[in-house]
């Protein structure tokens, strides 16, 4: 019974902590604000085009696409195997390589 009580407490705590995160205001960095002023209209146009394309693909395939976006820092262009290195640099990335080969690589 103590295990269930402890588990219930932990789950409640995690839910409360997560809900607190969603209630906080998002504060963007100054670079985003500056770039928004410079290219905000282009971003809106591009976002509209992306949503239109995603809608067409969903209609064509009958379901929403699975999109995974991975943002990393301090990784050189050729440090991942899919871009020509991985094992050669001492850090093989077989799972990322497999995902890249099965999906779409965006190069710029």
pLDDT in tens, 36-80: 888 888 988 988 998 999 999 999 999 988 887 777 777 776 777
**Residue 1, pLDDT score:** 46
- Judged on CB neighbours under 10 Å (0-12, 13-18, 19+), 81 is buried
Mean pLDDT of the residues in the chain: 76
- Cα torsion 53, 57, 62, 65 to 10°: value is -90
High-pLDDT (> 90) share of the chain, %? 8
pLDDT-derived band at 108, boundaries 50, 70, 90 = low
């Amino acid at each position: 019974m103590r295990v269930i009580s402890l588990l219930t407490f932990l789950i409640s705590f995690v839910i409360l902590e997560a809900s607190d995160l969603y209630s906080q205001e998002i504060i963007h960095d100054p670079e985003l604000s500056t770039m928004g002023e410079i290219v905000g209209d282009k971003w809106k146009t591009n976002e509209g085009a992306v949503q239109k394309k995603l809608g067409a693909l969903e209609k064509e395939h009958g379901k929403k696409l699975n999109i995974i976006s991975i943002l990393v820092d301090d990784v050189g262009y050729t440090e991942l195997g899919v871009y020509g290195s991985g094992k050669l640099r001492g850090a093989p990335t077989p799972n990322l390589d497999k995902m890249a080969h099965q999906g779409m690589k965006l190069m710029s």
